[in-house]
Amino acid sequence: MTSLGVDFGTTRTLVAAVDRGNYPVVAFLDAAGEAHEHFPSVVAELGGKLFFGLAALEAADRGGVLLRSFKRLLAAPECSGSQRVCVGAVDVSLFELLVGFLGALRVALVERSNLVRKKGDDAFDAVIAVPAHAHGAQRFLTLEAFRAAGFAVKAMINEPSAAGFEYSHRQPRTVSKQRTRVLVYDLGGGTFDASLVKVDGLSHDVTGTAGLNRVGGDDFDAVLLRTAVKAAGVDESELEARERAALLQQCRDAKERLTPQSKRVVLDVKGREVSIAVDDYFAAVTPLVESTVAAMRPLLGQLDAPAEALADIAGLYLVGGGSGLPLVPRLLKERFGRRVHRSPHPAASTAIGLAIAADDDAGFALRDRLSRGFGVFRDRNAGRGVAFDPIFLPEVSLAAEGVVISRRYRAAHNLGCFRFVECSGVDEVGEPRGDLLPFAQVLFPFDPALRKGVKLDKVAVERRGAGPRIEERYTVDAHGLVEVQIIDVDTGYQQTHRIGR
Ligand SMILES: Nc1ncnc2c1ncn2[C@@H]1O[C@H](COP(=O)(O)OP(=O)(O)OP(=O)(O)O)[C@@H](O)[C@H]1O
Ligand SMILES: [Mg+2]
């Protein structure tokens, strides 16, 4: 068995291996035999067939239709594994797409990478990650797709927590008795995540998370494209899809080549050369960086005095490929001072941290937290009102053996109506706030006469005298996935609900 950390990113998937206390980043070979320290998170259709990763880029060069950033589909509140995705002429479910991609990644690890394995050993165990703000369906689909693609998943943790491992592995000395917290700033291709990680020896406890599900390096590319198109005096709508994709790729490459010394970016728009001042480009993307600073606000109490806000923090650690843009460390250092550190491998930090977590000999322990709350709306007064019961608050600590919460009562109605939801927060009076995501809508027959062959949605809810004794059991597992059981304690009749099943 080979142990890996796999960071399935929006634009790039990075893999780091566990190799006797080292965590080398795996390089993948393209058709020309050139090595790339990432596997592109893309799919292409050519001749009715799907290609993934480097093979997808090659298929696109031969005229295939390329789809990027499909990980973003998982972040949508209404996402489900069965939702259809069109890749050129091929129509697949989102789940099939994920399994196809991760399966191709596994094959590439075996056949076209520099990963050192024991001869004949094609089995991988992996620690994987999801954005800190991932909702239940997103966590569930990610986990199931990795398993279906043939990875033995040891653990699934939040992306910034993994970067926290990499930080304390690399910079253990910055952590002191007074400064035990690391603020991980992860600007990826599609998402921004920030996490406060409390470091105590080898144990890392995520004490807070914040983030933006839809801000990342892709948006910085789009701004450069708009700036270039404007400078060329072209209307964006004049670009054909293929032209736009090629220009976007040009913008991404140019952006990634920027150094703190760069003065101008030169691009080719419809055969016209345009030269853009880097300062103008940075001014245009400053609001994007500002939005990440604003998103961190809940983690930093007194942001009015930003330098002091970091006083008891060992470091603000910049990771994610997007942090490679010189503007990002510059702006953050202006704001927060010397305690801003950039990872030497911003794009690989999460994968390396995951490999550290996958290494039994490293002895790192991680206690993660649920980053969303979970609760239920129950009908009250024979369906004339609802009341919200927050079951798990967003910051509940996740334990390996799961956390269980029960509610026991005597049913007062013939039929129970439960609307289970995930929410991004719960306010002081216990009402859900922020995004609300439906988890399941459940009708539970308290009246035994309703338990066989009755269409429950046609039944009127009535108040009855004392009904059966009911227990609701809520379990949240180490991956943050919730299971709900409703049990008639007297007869043992029960229903179980899990997300995505
Ligand atoms: N040197 C660089 N300068 C600026 N941006 C860079 C650099 N290198 C990579 N990027 C950008 O980083 C982004 C990819 O970052 P990363 O690999 O961390 O994201 P991801 O993990 O794929 O996405 P996410 O974490 O959002 O799911 C891309 O937008 C890419 O253009
Ligand atoms: Mg990432």
pLDDT tens digits for 360-388?
888 777 666 677 788 898 877 666 667 78
Question: Which atom of ligand 1 is nearest the CA belonging to 320?
Answer: 18
How many residues in the chain?
501
Residue bearing tokens 């094959």: 107
SS3 labels along 45-112: EECCEEEECHHHHHHHHCCCEEECCCCHHHHCCCCCCCCEEEECCEEEEHHHHHHHHHHHHHHHHHHC
Q: What percent of the chain has pLDDT over 70?
A: 94
Counting other chains too, the contacts that 302-309 makes at CB distance below 8 Å and 24 or more residues apart are 306/335, 306/336, 307/335, 307/336, 307/337, 309/336
pLDDT for residue 139 is more than 90: no
Whole-number pLDDT of residue 499: 67
Radius of gyration in angstroms for the set of CA atoms belonging to the chain, rounded to a whole number:
25
Q: Whose CA is nearest to atom 8 of ligand 1?
A: 321
Cβ(324) – ligand 1 distance below 6 Å: yes
pLDDT mean across residues, the chain: 88
Whole-number pLDDT of residue 303: 47
Are the C-beta atoms of 251 and 257 separated by less than 8 Å?
Answer: no
Cβ(160) – ligand 1 distance below 6 Å: no
Cβ(5) – ligand 1 distance below 6 Å: no
Choose between 318 and 153: higher pLDDT.
318
For residue 346, report the distance from its CA to the centre of ligand 1, in Å.
Answer: 9
For residue 136, report the distance from its CA to the centre of ligand 1, in Å.
Answer: 25
| Alpha-carbon torsion (276, 260, 333, 187), positive or negative | positive
CA distance linking residue 375 with residue 277, whole number of Å:
51
Q: Whose CA is nearest to atom 28 of ligand 1?
A: 189
Strand partners, 192: 187, 212
Cβ(252) – ligand 1 distance below 6 Å: yes
Q: 340-342 and 313-319: which strand pairing? A: parallel
Residue 208 phi, psi (nearest 5): -170, 145
Instruction: Give 2-215+288-367's CATH code, choosing from 1.10.150.120, 3.40.50.1370, 3.40.50.1820, 3.30.420.40.
Output: 3.30.420.40
**Side-chain half-sphere exposure of 482, counting CA atoms within 13 A:** 30
Cβ(190) – ligand 1 distance below 6 Å: yes
Cβ(12) – ligand 1 distance below 6 Å: yes
CA distance linking residue 74 with residue 235, whole number of Å:
32
Among the bound ligands, the one closest to the CA of 216: 1
CA proximity to 277, closest of 265, 289, 269, 267: 265
Residue bearing tokens 């995520």: 206
Q: What is the pLDDT of residues 187-227, one digit of tens each?
A: 998 889 888 888 777 667 777 888 887 899 999 999 999 99
Whole-number pLDDT of residue 382: 64
Fold of 217-287: Actin; Chain A, domain 4 (3.90.640)
For residue 421, report the distance from its CA to the centre of ligand 1, in Å.
Answer: 32
Task: Identify which of 6, 8, 11, 73 to mutate to test ligand 1's pocket (most ligand atoms within 8 A of the CB).
Answer: 11
Helix (H, G, I), strand (E, B) or coil at 385: strand
Per-domain residue ranges of the chain: 2-215+288-367, 217-287, 373-498
Q: Which helix (H) or strand (E) element contains residue 441?
A: strand 432-445
Q: What is the mean pLDDT of residues 35-39?
A: 96
Q: What is the pLDDT of residues 399-415, one digit of tens each?
A: 877 889 999 999 999 99
CATH class of segment(s) 373-498: mainly beta
CA distance linking residue 203 with residue 153, whole number of Å:
21
Q: What is the pLDDT of residues 230-269, one digit of tens each?
A: 999 999 899 998 899 899 999 999 999 999 999 999 999 9
